[in-house]
Structure 1
Amino acid sequence: MAISDFSFNTIDGHSTPLARFSGRVLLLCNTASECGFTKQYEALEKLHRRYQHEGLSVIGFPCNQFGQQEPGQATDIKQFCQIRYGVSFLLSEKIEVNGQHAHPLWQYLTKHKRGILGSKAIKWNFTKFLIDREGKIVGRYGPLTPPQALQDRIEELLQVKTG
């Protein structure tokens, strides 16, 4: 299995194969609207807008597994993200990232890129996975790592020259 073998449903209910993003750098993040880290939507959107034409795709995966911090329905989540943070990057339908009902993509991500002390489990909202253009998972970052801290690594993967 590879990243490109998975698909997910968008927040609008459309099946989307990750093969569609072949050759792009991906930043995948489990999100929540009522979390202390929710403001990371803003930084994710900035990365998306700055690098989407260079080959970056940001995808948010709303999840209600941590403190019930994503209680809304799809339309509520989408509206919140657009109105509050101007989110234009792709959002999935609400998923689980841990346990027996975890989305298969997230099972794959956590199996192949473990967290602190070798843990597979996602510890909280806004855990981020960075995928290179070849579909290799090159980084896993916890919620304490703000999206903007990934900018240099993203530029390196995109081979963007700044300055």
Structure 2
Amino acid sequence: MANSSVYDFAARDIKGNEKQMADYKGQVLLIVNTASKCGFTPQFEGLQSLHKELGGQGLEVLGFPCNQFMNQDPADDDAISQFCSLNYGVDFPMFSKVDVNGDNAHPLFQFLKGEAKGLLGSEKVKWNFTKFLVNRDGKVVGRYPPTTKPEDIKADIKKLL
């Protein structure tokens, strides 16, 4: 059976624990591939702001560190977690580092890319801080490029809450 929603997947959280995406059933998800040493890294602030403002209404921001773009997240999970917490006050769920492209791409990202294609129909994630918006039914409803700031997605998120 083909996967039909994000709830069909699991991923390791940044502490190494297996986490079922089904645990987020009924919530709106903003799934982002992140990096600690990227020009877009300050977007952690905007993501945390969305998490704080809309978390109580059913939004869950999920961060997935990725080191596939010019080695911009070379640290281990523990160091990444500390960086995000200390520099940006991140307390939304962060996951263990993943690949988003290529043969070793995490199955969740393979699914997200297939459901919401990028520019010109490309499935490939172009850079860090590509954002996927998922509705309360686990369906991918939007894909935003790294240049789209988290606050610019707020209206789309509110429509789903």
TM-score grouping bracket, smaller chain normalisation: over 0.9
**Which of 109, 123, 126 matches 1:123?**
126
Kindly state the Cα deviation for residue 58 of structure 1 after the two structures are TM-superposed.
Answer: 0.3
- Measure, in 2, the Cα distance between the counterparts of 1:30 and 1:67: 14
In the alignment, which residue of structure 1 is the partner of 2:54? Answer: 51
Kindly report structure 1 stretches of 4+ aligned residues shifted beyond 3 Å.
none
Q: Deviations over 1:105-153 (max 9, x none)?
A: 0000111110000000000000000000011111000000000001111
2:23 — aligned with what? Answer: 20
Instruction: Tell me what 2:91 maps to.
Output: 88
3-state SS, counterpart of residue 83 of structure 1: helix
Is residue 151 from structure 1 mapped to residue 157 from structure 2 by the alignment? no
What SS does the aligned partner of 1:68 have? coil
Any gaps of 5 or more consecutive residues in structure 1?
159-163
TM-score if structure 1 supplies the norm length? Answer: 0.96
Percent identity (aligned): 49
In structure 2, the residue corresponding to 1:26 is in which secondary structure? strand
TM-score, scaled to structure 2: 0.97
How many residues in Structure 1 have an aligned counterpart in Structure 2? 158
Q: What code does the residue aligned with 2:150 have?
A: P
